[in-house]
Amino acid sequence: MNATITEERLVATIDDETITAVVEEERMVAHFADETVIVVLDPGVISDKNYLHDQVAPASIWTITHNLGKVPAVVVFDSAGDQVMGDIDVVDNNTITITFSAAFAGKAYLN
């Protein structure tokens, strides 16, 4: 999977098909191939806290202070847009560290 995440949208390519998902008001609209899927979201989901971390300098250990006040779910993508797995250590409800096997730059989406 190759994906790009911004605060406004997710664009992912799976098996040469592109999925674009955006949150509009109280619904998520996803476009996949020739299909459009609309998902009505619980208002608590819309208002849930999230944080987008941009790791500009390549590093094998990322320390992320997100100030979300909770232990977040984490998804990491390298600068090419490929999803990367790492070992996540929860320091506290506002900070995590992620350890990878090699140094790279990229983005982490925390929710």
pLDDT in tens, 50-70: 899 999 999 999 999 999 999
Cβ atoms 22, 28 nearer than 8 A:
yes
Looking at residue 97, its pLDDT comes to: 97
In order along the chain (111 residues), what is the average pLDDT of each group of 10 residues? Answer: 57 66 60 58 60 95 95 90 92 96 94 87
Contact partners, residue 23, CB within 8 Å, separation at least 6: 29, 41, 46
Looking at residue 11, its pLDDT comes to: 65
Looking at residue 9, its pLDDT comes to: 63
Looking at residue 33, its pLDDT comes to: 60
Structure tokens at 97: 């560290």
Looking at residue 31, its pLDDT comes to: 60
Looking at residue 90, its pLDDT comes to: 94
Looking at residue 5, its pLDDT comes to: 54
CA 89/CA 45 separation, integer angstroms: 24
Structure tokens at 38: 């609309």
Question: Residue by residue, what is the 3-state secondary structure of the chain?
Answer: CEEEECCCEEEEEECCEEEEEEEECCEEEEEECCEEEEEECCHHHHCCCCEEEEEEEEEEEEEEECCCCCCCCEEEEECCCEEECCEEEEEECCEEEEEEEEEEEEEEEEC
